[in-house]
């Protein structure tokens, strides 16, 4: 069962062809790596799924819905089905750790006691329950990313999109982040990780696809060729 399908998708920014004629199915429960050099189109690919960008041509189906036909009012509901993680964390700087996670649930109108319970629970899983009152700037990069993962998971999304989630982290922190994502994946979520980090590919098994200059290319032998 495919959760996301792309048919002949291209994306152009002015004269730049960022993605060229991509056809791809992502199965429910899959762990998928998107590899390729910087500028290959990895971030752009992930953005198409939740309408962070629109295709120039071709179709993206997410959960059976054609993104070209999704009404503007339905975009927030689509986005709730994704948990998104960025290399630079994107925590809200003037909110503490607890609020960064809880706000996702508040935005959905969840009851207060449920928000508190789930936020504490998830921060405990992420090993950040002792830092719930801390402001993001006082945390290390690895800690900030643990909070960002907790926030992405809090709404129990079906699909996690992680764009270079370990790109700015030390190996130990990277391992913690992949561990958290793996635990969520094991509960049945689909996880897509864009990365050019070879170590990451060795750390956790999954399907590997590779972009080069916007084209999907067959990975070479072994673990997918040079990142």
Interacting residue ranges for ligand ADP, rule: CB under 6 A = 13, 16, 18, 36, 38-44, 118, 121-122, 125-126, 153, 156, 180, 183-184
Q: Nearest distance from residue 106's CB to ligand ADP, in Å?
A: 16
Identity of the residue, 4 or 40, whose beta carbon is nearer to ligand ADP in the bound complex: 40
DSSP 140: -
Taking the complex as a whole, the smallest distance from the CB of residue 123 to ligand ADP amounts, in Å, to 9
Report the residue number, 26 or 64, with the smaller CB distance to ligand ADP.
26
Strand stretches in 14-135, DSSP E: 16-27, 31-35, 57-62, 65-66, 82-85
Closer CB to ligand ADP, 42 or 71, in the complex: 42
Q: Which residues of 162-189 are buried (b: 16+ CB within 10 A; e: fewer)?
A: bbbbbbebeeebbbbbbebbeebbeeeb
Q: Shortest Cβ distance from residue 194 to ligand ADP (Å)? A: 6
Residue 29 CA to residue 3 CA, distance in Å, equals 9
| Beta carbon of residue 158, minimum distance to ligand ADP (angstroms, whole number) | 12
Q: Which value, to the nearest 10 degrees, does the dihedral of the CA atoms of residues 174, 178, 179, 185 take?
A: 170
Q: Between 156 and 168, whose beta carbon lies closer to ligand ADP?
A: 156
Nearest residue by C-beta to ligand ADP? Answer: 183
């Amino acid at each position: 069962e495919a959760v996301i399908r792309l048919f002949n998708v291209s994306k152009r920014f002015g004269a730049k062809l960022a993605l060229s004629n991509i056809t791809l199915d992502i199965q429910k429960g899959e762990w998928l790596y998107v590899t390729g050099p910087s500028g290959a189109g990895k971030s752009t690919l992930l953005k198409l799924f939740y309408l962070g960008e629109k295709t120039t041509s071709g179709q993206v189906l997410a959960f059976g819905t054609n993104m070209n036909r999704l009404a503007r009012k339905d975009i927030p509901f689509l986005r709730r089905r994704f948990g998104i993680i960025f290399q630079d964390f994107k925590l809200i700087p003037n909110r503490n750790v607890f609020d960064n996670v809880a706000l996702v649930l508040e935005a959905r109108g969840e009851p207060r006691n449920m928000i508190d319970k789930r936020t504490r629970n998830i921060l405990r899983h992420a090993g950040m329950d002792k830092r719930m009152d801390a402001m993001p700037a006082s945390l290390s990069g690895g800690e900030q990313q643990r909070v960002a993962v907790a926030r992405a998971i809090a709404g129990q999304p079906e699909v996690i999109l992680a764009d270079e989630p370990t790109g700015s982290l030390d190996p130990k922190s990277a391992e913690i982040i992949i561990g958290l994502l793996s635990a969520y994946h094991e509960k049945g979520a689909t996880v897509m990780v864009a990365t050019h980090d070879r170590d990451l590919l060795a750390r956790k098994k999954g399907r590997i696809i590779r972009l080069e200059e916007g084209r999907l290319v067959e990975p070479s032998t072994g673990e997918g060729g040079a990142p």
